[in-house]
Amino acid sequence: MSNKKVICTSHPLNFQCQACQLGKSSRLSLGPTSHQTFAPLELVFSDVWGLAPMLSSDGFCYFVIFMDAHMKFIWFYPFVLKSDVFNAFHQFQVFVERKFSQKIKSVQTD
């Protein structure tokens, strides 16, 4: 290693990169639920996240996800203004109701 001028040490570095720490963060998986669904779109969960501390490369700072309780499939919509959540939901609703040829029965969000 000394020929390549790379310094090796047995002492741990005290450097803590915030981006690395955030990248390693995780959430616990969801536990069992009492919700029982028998078809897609019977129950859709939704969560809005933002204001992000940093803009995405496309300038987005808010994000919303929609998850179908039956399929466990997630749709993700980024947006610039929090007031655009309703428009994102409307786009999602039109898309999935056409895709599955049925209406969303219920939505659960915080």
pLDDT tens-place values along the chain, 110 residues long: 456 566 666 666 565 666 666 666 555 555 566 778 899 999 999 999 989 888 888 999 999 999 999 998 999 999 999 999 999 999 999 999 999 999 999 999 87
DSSP alpha helices (H): ranges in the chain?
Answer: 18-24, 85-100
Domains of the chain: 41-110 (3.30.420.10)
Give me the pLDDT at residue 13, please: 59
Give me the pLDDT at residue 37, please: 87
- The residue whose two tokens read 């496309």 is 58
Give me the pLDDT at residue 106, please: 94
Terminal-residue alpha carbon distance, the chain: 54
Q: How many helices (H) and strands (E) does the chain have?
A: 2, 4
Q: Is the dihedral of CA 7, 10, 13, 19 positive or negative?
A: positive
This prediction's pTM: 0.68
d(CA 81, CA 26): 26
